[in-house]
Each structure stands twice: as C-alpha cells, then as structure tokens.
Chain A
Amino acid sequence: MSLIRKTAAELGTMVASGEVTAVEVAEAHLDRMAEVEPKVNAFLHVDRETTLEQARAVDARLRAGEKLGPLAGVPIAHKDIFTTRDMPTTAASKILKGWRPPYDATVTARLRAAGLVILGKTNLDEFAMGSSTENSAYGTTRNPWDLSRVPGGSSGGSSAAVAAYEAPLSTGTDTGGSIRQPASVTGIVGMKPTYGGSSRYGLIAFASSLDTPGPFARNVLDAALLHEAFSGHDPMDSTSIDAPVPSVVEAARTPDVAGMRIGVVKEFSGEGYQPGVLARYHEAVQLLESLGAKVVEVSCPSFLTALPAYYLIAPSECSSNLARFDAMRYGLRVGDDGTRSAEEVMALTRAAGFGPEVKRRIMLGTYALSSGYYDAYYGQAQKVRTVISREFEAAFHQVDVLVSPTTPTTAFPIGERADDPMAMYLADLCTIPSNLAGNAAMSVPVGLADEDGLPVGLQIMAPVLADDRCYRVGAAVEQALESRWGGPLLKEAPSL
C-alpha cells in the first residue's frame, strides 16, 4: 500500500524500524500534494526543500541513535496560525503576507523536537474567523469529498489536507468549533483538548480565552499520538494547565464503553438539523448503547444561549488581540509616503490588510466593550459563560460524556453562506458550549448523510482534563463502525 494511505502510527513504526526513511515518507506526501493541491488548495505555503531538509535531519537523528517519539519521521501540516521559524506565517491575512516569524510556536517546537516533518502551512479563515475557509485572503480550500463544497473552518486547510491524503496528521485551533466542524464535514477525527491543555504560545491569537490547539488525523489513535506529542504545561503560556496530560493514547487503545454513562444533549437535535445528519447521529447513539453504554437524555437549556454569548466574547477579545497589527513593527504597511501621520498609516494598513469578516468582528467587539455597553454585552456574555460551565458540571455529575451532532449539516456548497454571517455562525451551534466552558470535545466520523453522501460527525464532550474519555468513546465508535463498513469511512471518498 502506498505510503500516503498509511496511518501515522504505522509510518512512525516503519521509520523507526528503518523500513522507510523520513525522506521517503515526506517525498511521497509532497508528491501527493503536487498532484492534488491544484484541486484542493489546502496549503498556503509549501517548500519542498525545507521539508526534505527536516526529513533528512530526522533520519540523521535516528541513525545517531537519538530516542525520538512514536511519530518521528511522520509528516505533518500546520495550520498557518502557528508560528514556524523556517516558513512564513500569515493567518491567511494580507496584513501578514510573507511574514517570517523569528520563533516557533510551542506546538511547532515540540513536534519538531519529536521528529515530525513539516509539509507546509495550511489554509484557514483569516485569523481563524469563519467556518468554511472562504474568509481566507488567499482563496478557498475545497472539500476532498466534493470539490464544490467547503472543507469547514476555520481549520479547513488542515482538515482537507488530511482527508485528501496529503498529510497523515495536521494541527488546528478550535475557538468555537474550528477543529471539530471541519473534521466532521471532511470525515476525519478532530479533537479540541481541554483549554489550557495545549499551549497557545506562538498561536496567533483570535480569542485568547477560547483558542485551543488540537490535532487532526484519519483515526482516533493517530489523533491521540499527536495530542500527546504537543500537549502539556508550557511556562510561556500563563493559562496553560500545570497537570499531567490525560492518558489519551492509552484511552485510544481501549475502545470499550461498557458501563459508561453517555448523555444525549436534548437541545442539539430536531429542527434545523439535516435529516441525514440526525439519522447517522441517532444510529451512533444506538451503537453506543449496543456496546454496553448506558444512554440517558440530558437537558442543557443554556447551551442555546452559547452562540450569542460567543459572538460577544470572541469578537471582544479579537478587537483587542488584533490591535497589534498596526504596520509599525512587521507585516503590511500602506500609505507610508512620508506625508502621512502614524495614525493615518495604521488606519490605511488595517483598512487594506483585514478582510470583511475580521473587520466585522473587530467592530462588533469594539462596540461590545465600549463604555456604557460593557455590562449589557461583554459582562452579560461572561455570566452566560458561567451558567454554561455550571450546566456542564451538573451534566457531568450524571454522565461520563455528552454527545451531539458535531454540526447541524454536512459540508455546504462554496458561496452558499458567504454573504450570510448568521447562517455561517450556526455551523458552530453545537461546538461552542465546550469552548465557553473549556472542556474537552472530539468529532469522529459516523457515516454519510443519505441525501448528499457527505460525512457526518459525532461530537463527544468530556469534562475538563478528562480528554481521555473522548478518545475511549471515539475509539469504540470507530472500531464498531469500521468493522461494519469494512474499513475507514474515507475509503468512500473520491480518489481525486
């Protein structure tokens, strides 16, 4: 079987045993990228020579007997929002076009140290604001299942790259669903770790209290291996949790839900959900029951207020986080012709450098934080956030995990929601509560919707620092479904 069809775990074993070299693995993926990128457009930056140089260095380290992790020599694609010292980092924004960071993000650095080879930087909605990658300043990424549809977002380049076999693994960030929703609509596994479980250092901030780095993979075990490789306390990020990483790899190898209590979120079902999505979701719940789990319905009424609260908190933080893009020290500079003041150059640069969705959110956030409106908007949203956290806590007293559809619909056609922000925002309806509460949540593929033949994802939500439960339940679902399907769901995808 071709190297690009292998799992990350298999590739790691093959490289470690000397069966293949990291260079051979990288070359196979670079070739695949050359072949399908014109159709998929998952990458913003590819640099064959830099990648091969990294692969050669990994091979040399292994030959020298250096003990590297289980993913040494495995290629990875990074969402272009993590800084990389040998590749540009743009956040898919014109304002950072060509910017070369002088430092690695903690996630990048840890994976580099573990011997993973960077294939390139993947596309996203500008500054991670969106659910389709249509907000990228550098063109939309296409869904490998149907090139006329979106790959989800904001980490759509990362989901498409993995689904199109361009990369066995990729990183993403999840602020309101930006890992889980793209994983769901491309038929792969995506995990949002507990907030603070993975470092934000070197992750270009969208909404600091919500942004969470996480893994994409084609199966649950690969996701766990990647999760483990970059997670854990980072003194460079004050919000990073100083606690051991939950034993996610062990959990991914324990596909057993017998006796587990699984809560079905009552509010995330019914009207507004695509019938094919609901059908696969209900089957997945029945499957879990058949595997020995105890399924109960749990009501979390405040989850329906999560979306509006999110659209106050996230824009508020972003309006402040993005203030640093002012043409003074790096990035785009517009109108500096010697006659204009610094203030004018800042304004012209920001007007030219940010796209419409980014501007919309900066304006929303600026307004929500304004004197006289703070209590009614930002302050109120923070109260809602507290209520949602409490509702999660109460639910997790009754059950071990909560489940819901990851997103109400399958991948939507490119352009369908581009001019309708509210419709776009609804894609994150089910994923946002876990961002507000900071708990762990995963999306695993559970089949194809009957009406369009596109992938459907199941969301598994676990308490803070109980990320392992997502992997355990995800692995059980995956094992049962793959034995039913005779292989991974992705084998149903077009070959491109």
Chain B
Amino acid sequence: MTMLYDEALDRFEPVLGLETHVELGTKSKMFCGCKTTFGAPPNTQVCPTCLAFPGALPVANAAAIESTIRIGLALNCSIAEWCRFARKNYFYPDMPKNYQISQYDEPLCFDGYIDVEVNGEPVRIEIERVHLEEDTGKSTHVGGATGRIHGADYSIVDYNRAGIPLVEIVTKPIPGTDRLAPEVAKAYVTELREIMRSLGVSDVRMEEGSLRCDVNVSLMPRGASEWGTRTETKNVNSLRSVERAVRSEIERQAGVLAEGGKIVQETRHFHEDTGTTTSGRSKEEAQDYRYFPEPDLVPIAPDPAWVAKLKEALPELPLARRKRLQAEWALSDHDMQAMHNADAIDLVEATVAAGAPAADARKWWMGELARRANETGVPLSGLPITPVQIARVTELVASGALNDKLAREVLEGVLAGEGTPDEVVERRGLQIVNDEGELSAIIDQVLADNADAVEKVRSGKIAAAGALVGGVMRASKGKADAARARQLILEKLGVSE
C-alpha cells in the first residue's frame, strides 16, 4: 500500500536525481545532413547514415557540439579539453545501427550546478555531466492494451528522429529537499527549460518530446546516513508530471518500506492518467551496453580560447534576468512569481520594450489576457495578439483616446481577428468623444432628463453627479471621457467641488 505523503515524509527522507534529455534545434542531424523538422511525414528525413546502411559513416555536427558546450557553460560546468564519443551497444528496432553513438566516461561537460528558487528560497542543484548523443527512431506499437511493445500486434518505426542530436544532463544526487522534493524537481526542470530557451539551443517542448525527463527517487529512514535503493521513472512528459511522479514514487516506496519490503532497483513508467508509476524492466536484467570509444569519429578537443569566447557570449540566464526585471519593474516577489508561473515575463518584457509602462503591460497580460487564455485553454503566448499591439493599446489609453472599458473592447476585437488596435478602434468606432460640442449636447439632454439629480447636485449633494455622469456614459455608449463629462456637468450646474 502506498503511504500518504505527509506520513511518508515524517518517516523518510528522499534523495532525488534527474536525467534530462534535450533535443537540440540544429538544422541537420547529429551525424548526417538530414533535416530535423518536427512532424514531417514518416521516414522522409533519412539517408544511408541515419538508416545505418552498410558502409555509411557518421560525421559530427559542429553546431551540436557548440550548443552542448554552451549548455555546459550555462550550467557552470567544466568543459573537457579532450573527449570522445562512445558506442552504446544494444539491439532495438528503432535504433538503426543497434548501437547509439553517445558519450561514456568522457563527457563533454562535467561538474556544474544551477540555482533554482523554491518558495522564494534558493536551492543549488549540482550537475554531474552534460553529454552529447543521438536520438533513436520512434516506434509505435499497434494493438495491445499498453501501447508498449509487449502484447502489441505489430510495430512501426519512423526514423526521422533517428540521429537528431540529444543532450543528456545528469544531476548529482540531490539530498536535503525534504518535503519540497516534488517542488524542487519541478523547479529544476522548469529552470533548465528556461536556460535552454535563453540559449536558443532547443524549443524544449515536453509534449513534443524535445525535453524528456527521467526521475530518480530513493528514500532513507529519517536520521539514517545511507541512501536507499533508487528507482528511475520514465515517461514523465510535463512539468506537472515531474512533480506528481516524485510525489507518487515517494508514497509508493514509503509504503513498501513501511511493510518491511525492499525497493527493487528498476525502471518505472509514469502514467499521466492515474498519476502513479508501474514497474518496467528490472535493472538486474539490464543490458551490458559494452561501451567502447567510437572508432568512426575523431576525438573532440575544443580550443580553450573558443570556449572562453562562447562563455563571454552567453546570454543573461533566466534567474538573473528575473531578478533584474523584478527590480526594474518594482514588483513584489509574489507578483513576479505569478508572472513567471503564467509564462508572462517574456511577453511583458516585449510589451515594455514596445513602449508600454511595466505596470500597464503587467496589468493587461496578467488580467484581461490571462483570463482570456484561461477561458480558451491556450498559453498566453498562444493568444492571437502581440506585445506591440498591447503597447499600442496602453498608448491610446495614456493619450486619452481610449478609456479602460474601450481598451478592453479593442483587445477583444484584436483577439477576434479584426485587425490591429487602430483598425479595431476605427471599425468599431470606439474613440472617446472628444468633440466638446457633441459632449455638451449629450450633457444638456441628460440634465434635462434628470431633474431630480440636477436638483440634488445644485443643493450641494455633489455625489449625485455620479448618476449624471453615468447617464452621459450610457447616452454616449461609453465613448465619453467620464472625467471631462463630470467637469462639464458641474460647470453647467454652477457647482464647484
């Protein structure tokens, strides 16, 4: 039986480890010139090399090596002065050569760390290694209940993915997270994803498999010094799943240990629907990969001066950038975190860059637009509106051409595909009434129709003017400038505030 999370944490301490695979966004594959476009028709991006035809040879992609070194530098790693690719030998139909070109005991980058924040507290995650390898093809198992190879009627393979450069990032064991283990795991993967984005090396889409994560978890009784046996959970395909997989594995292992059982070192599969893991292949029957240095490729020996240049040219990393923007925008930790969680920081920054005040940019993206995104189930960045357009709307409000209500209508028009903010204003006729004569005529009519309210204002109950302003706004269909209307009403009635 699984144990409830709180009880599990009362009795045990978790140790985490994360192995993350990132597909690099290079134009061509790791060892041949084939394209890497996602979603191309099956087996259309293949050649003798990535199909492992007899006699075909690999040639390493220099751009992929550069990206890997940049990743290593961004993760504060040392860069190997000399290292080799290695062959990892095992038979599987989606791996054309029946060995994967990877790296074994000589990774390109090693011994680094990244800092993440959990509940506003910094946590340092140490990085064991970052190495470069090639992806496999993609098998689809047809028939059978599980979608896995056992029990399937037949399997089909798409080799388009075979040979796409893949970077594997392995953490050192992460003890001491205590109750926050799931949050730390999620924060780490989130931060890693943003670092990849800021480096521009991958589109890091978990749902498309360009970022994949294996979660290692072990438990030890509180106060113990020796770590427990770990399991490795695969098929963790979203940030939320990272968190859930850690939690579920802690609950399961605690249950096993509490009943006097032993944890089997094994691979487990996470199931999105139930939020639990099931046993996969046991490590005891694990393959002997017979690693040896890849004789078809020459060693990589990055020039230290070039590495130094790459280091200098690294972009500002996400955590530092968030700290800087928070200060520039004068936001609270809470507001900044909310923006981060909503993936709004890039959008707000772009809106500010387009000329909008930070407060306004934040107000629109985190308010009206967040609501719309939520309603329609798309990410903020997926809304059909651009930061430049938001900036234009804030400009129109600041100049007095729009008020808040009209501005919301403009946004609605843009989101509905009616054109740019200016086009929507024009087509929907949403300009504030600036014509004093027209406004004056509307006011005269409202004053004539509301004798009671007029009397109250004249007798000193200035608050009653609100009703008259409301009348003007209704009569103008919201296009009047409310402040100016109020001013004129008071003037006409000979009252001052």
Contacts and interface: CB of A to CB of B under 8 A. Distances in A.
B296 A208 contact: yes
Interface string B365-400: 000000000000000000000000000000000000
B56 A369 contact: no
B57 A330 contact: no
Contacts of B91: 323, 326, 343, 346
Contacts of B55: 82-83, 89, 101, 105, 200-205
Contact of B97 (A83, A236, A324): A324
A235 interface: yes
A205 B55 CA distance: 6
Interface in B280-298: 288, 290-292, 295-298
Interface string A232-267: 000111110000000000000000000000000000
Given A83-B55, A200-B57, A320-B290, 11 more contacts: A96-B54, A101-B55, A102-B53, A200-B55, A201-B57, A205-B55, A208-B296, A238-B59, A316-B292, A369-B89, A374-B291
B87 interface: yes
Interface in B238-293: 288, 290-292
Given A320-B99, A370-B288, A238 B54 contact: no
B96 interface: yes
Contacts of B98: 323-324, 326
Interface in B26-67: 48, 51-60
Interface string A290-327: 00000000000000000000000000110110011110
A483 interface: no
Interface string A418-431: 00000000000000
Nearest to A371: B288
A394 interface: no
Interface string A89-105: 10100001001011101
Interface residues on A, range: 35 or more
Contacts of A235: 59
A378 interface: yes
Contacts of B89: 319-320, 323, 369
Contact of A371 (B58, B155, B290): B290
B315 interface: no
B93 A326 contact: yes
Given A208-B295, A369-B292, A374-B292, A202 B93 contact: no
Contacts of A341: 149
A324 B52 contact: yes
A89 B288 CA distance: 32
A316 B87 CA distance: 11
Contacts of A346: 91, 93
Contact of A238 (B52, B56, B93, B296): B296
B48 A323 contact: no
8 contacts: A101-B55, A103-B56, A202-B55, A204-B54, A239-B297, A317-B295, A326-B98, A329-B96
A87 B157 CA distance: 28
A319 B99 CA distance: 11
Contacts of A343: 91
Contacts of B97: 323-324
Contacts of B149: 341
Interface in A106-141: none
Given A202-B55, A204-B54, A238 B60 contact: yes
Nearest to A199: B57
B56 A201 contact: yes
B57 A238 contact: yes
Nearest to B59: A238
Nearest to A105: B55
B106 to A, nearest CB: 14
Nearest to B54: A204
A324 B96 contact: yes
Interface string A366-389: 100111001000100000000000
Nearest to B55: A202
A316 B295 CA distance: 11
Nearest to B88: A320
Contacts of B60: 238
B56, B87, B99: residue with the most chain A Cβ atoms closer than 10 Å: B56
Interface string B340-351: 000000000000
Nearest to B49: A236
B296 A103 contact: no
Given A323-B91, A324-B96, A370 B296 contact: no
